Amino acid sequence: MHIIVDLCVVPLGVGVSVSPYIVACEKILKAAGLKTNLHAYGTNIEGEWDTVFAAIKQCHETIHAMGAPRITTTIKLGSRTDRLQTMEDKIRSVQEKQ
Amino acid sequence: MHIIVDLCVVPLGVGVSVSPYIVACEKILKAAGLKTNLHAYGTNIEGEWDTVFAAIKQCHETIHAMGAPRITTTIKLGSRTDRLQTMEDKIRSVQEKQ
Amino acid sequence: MHIIVDLCVVPLGVGVSVSPYIVACEKILKAAGLKTNLHAYGTNIEGEWDTVFAAIKQCHETIHAMGAPRITTTIKLGSRTDRLQTMEDKIRSVQEKQ
Amino acid sequence: MHIIVDLCVVPLGVGVSVSPYIVACEKILKAAGLKTNLHAYGTNIEGEWDTVFAAIKQCHETIHAMGAPRITTTIKLGSRTDRLQTMEDKIRSVQEKQ
């Protein structure tokens, strides 16, 4: 199943600077061959269900291994069967009506 | 990895009554042996990572097969390595301080 | 506007134990006269838009005043014009179909 | 209070094509003078608490007036007191470590 995801990973118990953990997660997503786009409150991801969630699981494992005792993550996840839609399609469908 | 999840599945293109789809998803979560607790804006789930996400994938597949052409899902997901925490522990830790 | 909300407030930079901050927020919501229901990954809230968001703003102000330098909050928010729906209605509409 | 927000508004009961409603919401955010950045699963917003939430309320009112009987919205919301941080700062702090 092809999905578009928005991922926001928040390590707890490591202070207020969380960017080193986000960087580690970005590397995992890219190494998995996923299409990603970083924004100011998370990362858009596009790919197959199993690949996406295997990568997100690896993000949790890696961030714990880096020393974060607790992680809270927010995921938005869209799938559709009526047509294939890319991340660019979603943005364009809004922008061309503006 | 043991996780606590909050799941909110929203089928689109099927009108405003979405409860039949939520019911189908609740059945899948229970059939997977997961601990669940329904609330007014989603379902708390506790279990192992792979079991939880296999069940959520099955929810998407089933809701599409029921006729929903599009689904948007929101997931909150917590893991911790410092100690085992259940859904009841989380609620109790707040209630006993009130 | 009558709304049903799911609120999850996460203070950062205060270690892994966040329940004292959640307790402070629960008190603010109740003092505002809002209907609330605590679950394992947040709090359901029902009330008028302005009352709900004034209370959530007060939660942020209070948690910062308690010493948390950073807060990340997740909100789900539902409104409908076709009919009045309570938190209990939403749960019942799922449970009676099971 | 200065906040960074991620907003995802989903109208229900209007079929699978939701972009006209998102366009209306984007116009409201811009007319309110807010800094925004559209991505594939929502819109980043930066501004003062009261301005941001007045605009989001107006989005709900407008989308209902356009004919959507039900709306479910997801909001991520960050505030911090240790330093002022812009949306660009958040992205840069990740990108410069990659």
* D83: its two tokens: 């330093």
* D41: its two tokens: 């699963």
List pLDDT tens digits, range C24-34.
999 999 999 99
Distance separating alpha carbons of residues C78 and B6, to the nearest angstrom: 16
Distance separating alpha carbons of residues A37 and A69, to the nearest angstrom: 27
Comparing C-alpha atoms, which of A16, A15, A23 is closest to residue A62? A23
Sign of the four-CA dihedral A36, D42, C45, D16: negative
List pLDDT tens digits, range D39-88.
999 999 999 999 999 999 999 999 999 999 999 999 999 999 999 999 99
Mean pLDDT score, A16-28? 95
Distance separating alpha carbons of residues B50 and B52, to the nearest angstrom: 6
Long-range CB pairs of D17-23, under 8 A, 24+ apart, other chains included: D18/B12, D19/A93, D19/A94, D19/A97, D20/A97, D20/D66, D21/D63, D21/D66, D21/D68, D22/A94, D23/A94, D23/A97, D23/A98
> Cα C27 to the chain's mean position, in Å?
11
Mutate to test the interface with B, among D6, D7, D8, D16 (most CBs of B within 10 A): D16
Report mean pLDDT in 10-residue bins for chain B, 98 residues: 98 93 97 97 98 98 98 98 94 92
- Sort out which chain C residues have CB atoms less than 8 A from D74's CB and list them: 74-77
Q: Is the pLDDT of residue D30 over 90?
A: yes
- Is D74's CB within 8 Å of C76's CB? yes
pLDDT class of C98 with cuts at 50, 70, 90: confident
CB distance D36 to D25 below 8 Å:
no
Mean pLDDT score, C72-81? 98
Q: Tokens 């702090």 map to which residue?
A: D93
Query: What domain range includes position D71?
Result: 2-95
**What residues in chain C have their Cβ under 8 A from chain D's Cβ atoms?**
1, 13, 49, 53, 57, 60-61, 64, 69-82
- Is D10's CB within 8 Å of B74's CB? no
Q: Is the pLDDT of residue D18 over 90?
A: yes
Distance from CA of B9 to the nearest CA of D (A): 11
User: ipTM of this complex > 0.90?
Assistant: yes
The domain tally of chain C equals 1
Mutate to test the interface with D, among C61, C70, C84 (most CBs of D within 10 A): C70
Give the amino acid at C81.
Answer: T
Comparing C-alpha atoms, which of B2, B7, B15 is closest to residue B57? B7
Distance from CA of D82 to the nearest CA of A (A): 9
pLDDT for the residue numbered B16:
87
pLDDT for the residue numbered B98:
83
- E strand or H helix that includes residue D37: strand D35-39
CB distance A41 to A53 below 8 Å:
no
Which residue of chain D has the CA closest to C85? D70
Distance from CA of C56 to the nearest CA of A (A): 19
pLDDT for the residue numbered D16:
87
* A80: number of Cβ within 10 Å: 20
Mean pLDDT score, A16-41? 96
**Looking at residue B32, which CATH number applies to its domain?**
3.30.70.930
What is the pTM (predicted TM-score) of this model?
Answer: 0.97
pLDDT class of A16 with cuts at 50, 70, 90: confident
* A61: number of Cβ within 10 Å: 16
